[in-house]
Each structure stands twice: as C-alpha cells, then as structure tokens.
Amino acid sequence: MNTGNQDIRDAIVDTAIVLGERTSWEAVRLFDVAAELNISLEEIRPYFSEKEELVDAWFDRADSYMLKESQAEGFQDLSSHQRIHRLIMAWLEALAAHRQVTRQMIGAKLELGHIHIQIPGLMRISRTVQWVREAAYRDATFARRALEETALTTIYLVTFIFWMRDESENSRRTRQFLEHKLFLAKVLDHAVYGRKRDDAQQYSRQLESLPENSDH
C-alpha cells in the first residue's frame, strides 16, 4: 500500500469497521485487516500495536468531527447550553453510520476481566469531555469546574448509552433526551451559583418550552 501515513491509518480503521459489520467487532482480528488490505502485520504495527487502539482511533474521529462543528458559522453566537448540545450530537453523528459496531466496541470494554482496557477507557471519556468544554468555551475554575466536569461527564455517558439504542429518525429522541439532561444541569448550576439577571428571561422561556413527554 503506497500512500500517506494518515491514509494508511484511516484505511486500517475503515477496514476493521467494515469487517466488524460483516461479522462482529469481537471477531475482528488484525491479521484479517492486514489480509483485506493486502499488507502485512508488520505494516500495521507502526500505526496500531493492538486491536484496542482501533477503538481509540474510531472515537478520535468523532472528537475531530465534533471540533470541526465548533468552527461552523454562527456557533459562537449560541448559548453555552446550545453549544454543548450541538457538540455532543455532532460527536454521536460521526459514529451513526456504524452504530451497531460502536455498541459492540463498548460492550467489549465492559466485559468482566477487561480492566486493562477499562481504565484507559475512563481516560478516553475524560479526554472527550475536556474537548467538549474547550469547544463550548467553558472557563469555570476550581470547585465550579469540578462540578461542571462531573455533570458533563455524566450527561455525555448517559446520552451515549441512550443513543446506542435509539432508532428514531435523525436521533430525535436522543436530541430530546440530551436537551432535558442539559436543562437539569443548568437548573443545578443556577441553584448552586445563582444566575445572572439578564439570563432570567431566557431561563424562563426554556422552562416553559421543555417537552412534557421528553424521554428521561
């Protein structure tokens, strides 16, 4: 395979995903990926030293897609709440074409006895959450930052889990679910730290427009 390094890396990930769709993610092996690409395992090794690194690369793509979304026209004009919603949904959209394989990747991480990949997985979650905070221009410090990170990590994870089983068009139910969780987080933030006077009217409108039958 005579091409650039990034192209080779992308081809390896793409091929692994395709193989996972054909059978299952559990059944994917690096030697199968090598055979499909007509390269050797030695040619794969500089890019991926083990199969689990393919999962990290897959989620890195979602991070990249999400950060590109933060450069979209009008993004900076959105409220912080709207930015976070848009970023998390962009992250999920990057994975949507291969939702089943993504679900299988997560399932493999959660299996008993896989603590060697579960601990790095926690660090991976933290990295994505930090990118969300950066892209949403969140600048809280000290105790408030810690509270925000905890709340955002929880919201990101429960939304991800919900999305993996969501078959609604354009992930409509996930969008509603995420909107509701972000609203509750905002209520908590206001309860602990108060809210600016000029936010009161917008806050009231959000409360009135919150869907009564949104999925929890």
Going from the N-terminus, what domains does the chain have, and what CATH number goes with each? 1-49 (1.10.10), 67-209 (1.10.357.10)
Residue 66 near residue 132 (C-beta atoms within 8 A): yes
d(C-alpha 83, C-alpha 182), whole Å:
11
Residue owning tokens 């969780």: 181
Residue 78 near residue 138 (C-beta atoms within 8 A): no
In this prediction the pTM is 0.87
At 109 the pLDDT is 83
Q: What is the pLDDT along the chain (216 residues), one digit of tens a residue?
A: 666 899 999 999 999 999 999 999 999 999 999 999 999 999 999 999 999 999 999 999 999 999 999 999 999 999 999 999 999 999 999 999 999 999 999 998 877 666 667 778 788 999 999 999 999 999 999 999 999 999 999 999 999 999 999 999 999 999 999 999 999 999 988 898 886 544 545 555 555 666 655 454
| The Cα angle at residue 97 between residues 94 and 14, in degrees rounded to 5 | 80
